[in-house]
Amino acid sequence: MDYGKIYVIGTGPGDTEHLSKKALEAIKEAQTVIGYSSYIKQIDGILSEEQEKLPFNMKDEIKRCEAAVKKSAEGKTVALVSGGDAGIYGMSGLLLEIIDKESLTRKVPVEFIPGIPAFCAVAAAAGAPITNDFCVISLSNLLTPWEDIERRLRAAASGGFVIIIYNPRSMKRKEELTIAKNILLESIEKNRPAVIAKAVTRRGEEIIITTLENIDKFDIVTMNTTVIIGNENTYVNDLYMITKRGYGNKYDLNKNR
């Protein structure tokens, strides 16, 4: 029997409003839907009774991919869903590695459908904090050694990037954001604008615009929170966080007004 297609789908930062049309069609086409239980819950409204749902726990990523390959071997069309984009701290790479290890690369048809990453939704909620070169750093040391995380924080700060921090805090990791902040403060001034955004586009969304020295002082920092620290051209007005990209240096923004 031929292997069924595996769609690897980014479902966006929250509810199904941010799913692309293509992702929606692929989810509806799938006979089996596999993913972290809370992502499956988020798309529950568009799933039908007939579809097989295989929810998994948080750290079961390998099992999820193995289940996807097994169902594909049974000829089923599979939707492997991740929040945000599946290629950003998501399931895409692991699935390909597992398929490769089993020498099935040319046998299992895989299609990747991109999703809106959480940091895009956070930026949209705050105004325009990115606009220029940026980098994303996860503070989770589950798969990346903490020394590497520190090295990347220092490089990002000295490189002048807008810095996006994922996984700023978890039940087990309570101090990392403070350590990260102190590293950033080695080369960034303490009143640099920052935004802290929890559960963006989901129920319980909260957004706080603050400064670098205070990013670790809010209860809303959990594993569902993203922090964005501006670059040297970032400022805040009474509504938005804005990173000037440099138009004002090149053109007269007051002209014709």
Minimal CA–CA distance to 232: which of 152, 118, 156? 156
Minimal CA–CA distance to 126: which of 236, 22, 47, 33? 236
Question: Which SS3 state, helix, strand or coil, does residue 196 take?
Answer: strand
- Of 4 and 115, the one with the shorter C-beta distance to ligand SAH is 115
- Of 4 and 117, the one with the shorter C-beta distance to ligand SAH is 117
Q: Which stretch binds ligand SAH (CB under 6 A): 34-42, 52-60, 116-124, 238-246?
A: 116-124
- Of 152 and 198, the one with the shorter C-beta distance to ligand SAH is 198
Cα 47 from Cα 102, distance rounded (Å): 30
Answer for which of 30, 78, 88, 195 binds ligand SAH (CB under 6 A) is: 88
Q: Whole-number minimum distance, CB 16 to ligand SAH, in Å?
A: 13
Using CB under 6 A as the binding rule, whether residue 36 contacts ligand SAH is answered as no
Using CB under 6 A as the binding rule, whether residue 42 contacts ligand SAH is answered as no
Between CA 31 and CA 36, with CA 33 as vertex, the angle to 5 degrees is 175
Cα 90 from Cα 123, distance rounded (Å): 20
Using CB under 6 A as the binding rule, whether residue 82 contacts ligand SAH is answered as yes
Question: How is residue 126 written in tokens?
Answer: 């705050």
Question: Which SS3 state, helix, strand or coil, does residue 25 take?
Answer: helix
Q: Which of residues 197-216 bind ligand SAH (CB under 6 A)?
A: 197-202
> Would you tell me which residues interact with ligand SAH (CB under 6 A)?
13-14, 82-85, 88-90, 117-118, 122, 166-167, 197-202, 223-226
